[in-house]
Amino acid sequence: MYFGLTDEQEMIVSTVRSFVENEIYPHEAEVERLGEVPSEIARDIKQKCIDLGFYASNFPESVGGPGLSHVDFALVERELGRGSMALTHFFGRPQNILMACKGEQIDKYLLPAVRGEKMDALAMTEPDAGSDVRGMKCSAVRDGGDWVVNGSKHFISGAEHADFVIVFVATGVDDTPRGPKKRITCFLVDRGTPGFEIARGYKSVSHRGYQNSILYFDNCRLSDAQVLGEVDGGFDVMNEWLYATRITVATNSVGRARRVFDYALAYAAERSQFGQPIGKFQGVSFQIADMITEIDAADLLTLSAAWRLDQGLPANREIASAKVYASEMLARVTDAALQIHGGMGLMDELPIERFWRDARVERIWDGTSEIQRHIISRELFRPLGA
């Protein structure tokens, strides 16, 4: 077993970290204040990423991407996790399920997304269908040779900047021994399509500037050419996407935790009380020790899951373990960092309170901690027939 990085991987880490520190950090306070990313800053970050050769780094060389391995891409996401998500969004990682594009979809959606000419967003969640994906009410029915979509989606990240949206809707119901089971189909929907509206979503305390949107479909007519994958095959497409996003949440959590830890370690070494640095007191020093131990554990767990994907090994349980542990680790680390900073940790003169707020959502989106534990336990019990 070898845990070191190759020279190329060290270069990836160094390059992306430098990009985040020089191109992302300087704009974070402004984005936090405005609650959005100014368009000129977004364009600048996107173009610099393209020039750097890292845009669409989650795509293979066959479609114009850099062709990074799962471990390489995890390292990219780990470093991006250090920066504001609202800003790193423009570093550009299109949804990997666009690899399911075929025929004319390749030139219309896939290749423009990889080149940075179009931006995408993914829409799955609804007010009554979060963890229960099959509970979605947004549906499409046949009308002649087209599909007519009605319903809504919410909590849709990045839709305000998207040129097209990847939408999952119900397209029928099967009767099964366990009751009715909805069939799901994935569609590619262009901004400006009649009957399709993108509206501003809710204000969140986490990741300000990384906005969410509400999507409305009112007799929105789509053709078969806009089906991504197969009709009623949406779950097959969905599962490919969930693997990638759960590793992203885990790696982002590790990167953000390391940045928070650096602040806490420096503060504990510099801040003096009772005639000595507070890091000399066990109440603080033991917290520092626990923080770095948990960060390292989450890092190794996450990279191990990515490595399994590179080896073609089953990784569903390992990815779920990485997501639940890293996201919950981030909550503990940010809370400890805030405690170490005392009252100043809650003031917006320091970024600690922002990290603390941002950490909360990681245990919810892309599959809650409860869903991850369900996946883990199911994978363990299944071979036993339980």
Sequence spans of domains, the chain: 7-115, 120-231, 236-384
**Whether residue 70 has pLDDT greater than 90:** yes
Asked if 120-231 and 236-384 have one fold, the answer is no
How far is residue 132's CA from residue 127's CA, in Å, rounded to a whole number?
Answer: 11
Mean pLDDT within 99-106:
96
pTM of the model: 0.94
Share of the chain above pLDDT 90, in %: 89
How far is residue 72's CA from residue 284's CA, in Å, rounded to a whole number?
Answer: 34
pLDDT at 178: 81
Domain range 236-384, its CATH number among 3.50.30.10, 3.40.50.740, 3.40.50.300, 1.20.140.10? 1.20.140.10
Average pLDDT, the chain: 95
The structure tokens 């170490």 sit at 340
Share of the chain above pLDDT 70, in %: 99
**Contact present, 124 and 133 (Cβ < 8 Å):** yes
Q: How confident is the model at residue 241 (pLDDT cuts 50, 70, 90)?
A: low
How far is residue 343's CA from residue 38's CA, in Å, rounded to a whole number?
Answer: 31
SS3 94: coil
Measured between alpha carbons, how far apart are the two ends of the chain, in Å? 33
CATH code for 7-115? Answer: 1.10.540.10
> Among candidates 35, 34, 18, which has minimal Cα distance to 83?
18
pLDDT at 66: 94
The DSSP output letter for 210 is S
Specify the amino acid at residue 157: S
CATH code for 120-231? Answer: 2.40.110.10
Range with the lowest mean pLDDT among 48-62, 100-114, 241-255, 275-289?
241-255
**Contact present, 249 and 327 (Cβ < 8 Å):** yes
- Dihedral sign of CA atoms 34, 38, 42, 44 in order: negative
